[in-house]
Amino acid sequence: MRFQMAMLIVVSLLISASLAVAEECPAAPGWFSAGGAPVPSNSEPSRGNDCEFYQRAWQTFLYVTDNIDGTPRLLSYKTYSEVFGTDPKVGSLGAVANAKGRMLELAPRLMKAAQTTDAEDVLQAGSNAILLDTSGRPIFYNIFMNPTFVDFVQTKGYNQLAKLQAAPATEELPVGAVEFKAAWQIVDDANPPKDRIVVQAQVPWLIAADHGKLKVDKSRPSRTVTVSLIGLHVVIRTEGHPEMIWATFEYDRNAPSAKGNPTTPNAGCVNQFEPKDDAIANDASPYLLFSSDGAVNQKPQSLLVKDDPKQIFEAQPKTAIARSFPFSACSPGRAQPLAITEIDGAIVAVNESAKSQLADPARKSYSLIGAVWLDEPRNPNDKYGFKEDRSFEDFELGGENRLSSASMESFTQIGSPNCFTCHDTSSKGNLDPKRLSVSHIFRRFSLGH
């Protein structure tokens, strides 16, 4: 804890210094070779060197979005439904073969009636809400696992509930396992955007349900649409980090940021020297998820079908998504030296370095928003180490403690401000406390059986 606080002081002083002194955090030139990014290392990033964590996240992003036989490598990874069978949250939707070999099947995260009291991992994480873009079309989601993650599940038989429930509480995901959660926006088939990753996908038809909800219309077959990637969680298991490193990337025109941290006392940013300003820094150019006439980050109370053939819906109230924490962090203390007033310079530096070397216009418009991890997961003080039946506090975290994705945690930015707010090792779903439960993939599976 003393080390973490000391590091916060050092980082805050650097941030508060003149911006003329740029921070060094380069993206390695070898990541951009003609053969694509090399397989990321599984070695442990140096403790206290945030740049190494951000570099690992960027290299992983580049590796999984490299074009392989016409599609991003990520699409060759197995989805939740392929590994665990029917997804209890979205129905029998996974990935299927087509004439080209593979097409995604996507769905909004529709809540079942039987899950009304436990909505932590349905719809958007924690909020039980469907997100519409500014045109009124739903944002769709899915989960991928890399081969190391999949091999672990299948070898151990953890896609069988009894074996998963019997897993040792101390068992951890293997080094090299990576999971991904992606957010997709439907785009124009005839004129898809050039500055985003674009693929074909199958999506269900949605119709009105009771109480202002939407549901899948099972009477109509899925339709083929063109979708663009607008958000990606990259969750990495390296040496020394069994809790995983949770990084998030966003398309640059998803949403603007507030000018300062939230003014609400519930935001938990207690430092009086940190800027607090709910006004939105809107540059008046179009965003995918924000419009100036919407209610900022307000969860819709009802959804109406506006145009069924075009699958356009209307949210009431109309929602405008913005980043509540422009710096993706706030300090745990009240002193001037701890005040965080800018995004981490290492994040700025690695984003600029990567974008300057990317020749592919479809990937130049994504940025690392931040990452969060446990500063000392093998803390010799067992009270603060990564273990079963634990939640994790801000002072234990490295990186950004107010890290949310505008496209995936739109409505929970203040109430659940970082990944470890929900991703802990307490009892999850139908599972006793386990270290594996830091990934909600296992919780989701247990709830469906």
The 3-class secondary structure across 3-41, one letter per residue, is: HHHHHHHHHHHHHHCCCCCCCCCCCCHHHHCCCCCCCCC
The pLDDT value given to residue 92: 39
Helix (H, G, I), strand (E, B) or coil at 208: strand
The pLDDT value given to residue 341: 94
- How many other C-beta atoms are found inside a 10 Å radius of the C-beta of residue 330? 24
Q: What percent of the chain is predicted at pLDDT more than 90?
A: 78
Give the angle subtended at the CA of 411 by the CAs of 289 and 328, to the nearest 5°: 85
Helices (H), 41-187: 50-65, 80-84, 147-156, 161-165
Mind listing the pLDDT tens digit for each residue in 233-289? Answer: 999 999 999 999 999 999 999 999 999 999 998 898 989 999 999 999 999 899 999
Cα 403 from Cα 397, distance rounded (Å): 11
Q: Residue 207 corresponds to which amino acid?
A: I
Cα 407 from Cα 348, distance rounded (Å): 20
Cα 240 from Cα 243, distance rounded (Å): 9
Q: In this model, does residue 113 exceed pLDDT 80?
A: no
Q: In this model, does residue 110 exceed pLDDT 60?
A: no
Q: Please, which residues have CB within 8 angstroms of residue 276's CB and are 6 or more apart in sequence?
A: 260, 261, 262, 263, 269
Q: In this model, does residue 116 exceed pLDDT 70?
A: no
Six-digit token string for 215? 């549901």
The pLDDT value given to residue 38: 97
Mind listing the pLDDT tens digit for each residue in 33-45? Answer: 999 999 999 999 9
The pLDDT value given to residue 333: 86
Helix 50-65 to helix 345-357 angle (10° resolution) is: 30
Average pLDDT over residues 7-33: 61
Helix (H, G, I), strand (E, B) or coil at 337: helix
Average pLDDT over residues 330-345: 92
Six-digit token string for 412? 């929970």
Check: CB of residue 443 under 8 Å from CB of residue 437.
Answer: yes
The pLDDT value given to residue 85: 84
pTM score of the predicted model: 0.90
Band the pLDDT of 449: cuts 50, 70, 90.
Answer: low
Cα 3 from Cα 91, distance rounded (Å): 46
Task: List, in sequence order, every residue forming a beta bridge with 255; answer none if it has no partner.
Answer: none
Band the pLDDT of 12: cuts 50, 70, 90.
Answer: very low
Mind listing the pLDDT tens digit for each residue in 49-58? Answer: 999 999 999 9
The pLDDT value given to residue 332: 82
Chain-centroid distance of CA 1 in Å reads: 27
- How many other C-beta atoms are found inside a 10 Å radius of the C-beta of residue 138? 25
Cα 177 from Cα 242, distance rounded (Å): 10
Six-digit token string for 290? 């924000």
Residue that wins the pLDDT comparison between 448 and 347: 347
Cα 138 from Cα 205, distance rounded (Å): 11
The pLDDT value given to residue 447: 86
Residue that wins the pLDDT comparison between 329 and 284: 329
Six-digit token string for 354? 């990567």
Average pLDDT over residues 16-28: 66
Average pLDDT over residues 321-336: 93
Average pLDDT over residues 352-373: 97
Task: List, in sequence order, every residue forming a beta bridge with 302; answer none if it has no partner.
Answer: 316
DSSP 222-280: -EEEEEEEEEEEEEE--TT-TT-EEEEEEETTS--BBSSB--SGGG----TTS-B---B
Looking at beta carbons, which pairs linking 146-155 to residues 24 or more positions away fall under 8 Å?
146/64, 146/77, 146/176, 146/177, 146/178, 146/179, 146/180, 147/77, 148/174, 148/176, 148/177, 148/178, 149/173, 149/177, 149/178, 149/179, 150/77, 150/78, 150/83, 152/177, 153/83, 153/84, 154/83
Average pLDDT over residues 107-120: 43
Six-digit token string for 249? 């990337």
Q: In this model, does residue 68 exceed pLDDT 80?
A: yes
Helix (H, G, I), strand (E, B) or coil at 416: coil
Mind listing the pLDDT tens digit for each residue in 178-193? Answer: 999 999 999 999 999 9
Q: In this model, does residue 128 exceed pLDDT 80?
A: no
Q: Helices then strands (H, E): number in the chain?
A: 7, 18
The pLDDT value given to residue 277: 96
Cα 239 from Cα 232, distance rounded (Å): 22
Domain ranges of the chain: 2-447
Cα 17 from Cα 11, distance rounded (Å): 10
